[in-house]
Amino acid sequence: MKFIGIEVDKKKLYSKQALLDYLRENGENDRVLAYIRTEYFDAFGNEMMWRYPISDGLHTGTFIVLVKEGFISLPFNEIDVEDYEILDLEDAAMFDEDAIQFFIDDWKLFSDDLMEAMTDIKRILAE
């Protein structure tokens, strides 16, 4: 499978269940996800994981992670100074086309609003 310009050998990916089991056994947080990011980076030259830092209406944010079956959302609602994002694995779910479209649309609204605000800030500071 080719993804973001990288040839991905699916055998080197975690399955959804293996990922969830690993997190449940080792810690349901971003500190533990760092080990998986390192494994993926070593295998693919990319972490194959993205922090989506805006709310989906139910959670503070989520991680989007490539797994054998597709893409999984690992949401979080709290952040700890030592473990960083604390994952809510009960709400972990695979993305479908509608779910990722919601994230795309929401990100565009967020990004457009932020860019407009920053552009106006620059204009005001220049006056």
pLDDT in tens, 66-116: 999 999 999 999 999 999 999 999 999 999 999 999 999 999 999 999 999
Identify the band that residue 50 occupies on the pLDDT scale cut at 50, 70 and 90. very high
- The SS3 call for residue 8 is coil
- The SS3 call for residue 36 is helix
Domain identity same for 88 and 104: no
Domain boundaries, position 117? 96-127
The structural domain count of the chain equals 2
Domain identity same for 101 and 72: no
Domain identity same for 114 and 90: no
Report the pLDDT value the prediction gives residue 116, as an integer from 0 to 100: 98
Domain identity same for 121 and 71: no
- What is the model's pTM? 0.92
What does R_g of the chain's alpha carbons equal in angstroms? Answer: 17
Report the pLDDT value the prediction gives residue 58, as an integer from 0 to 100: 94
- 44: which residues sit within 8 A by CB, 6+ positions away? 6, 8, 12
Domain identity same for 62 and 109: no
Domain identity same for 46 and 86: yes
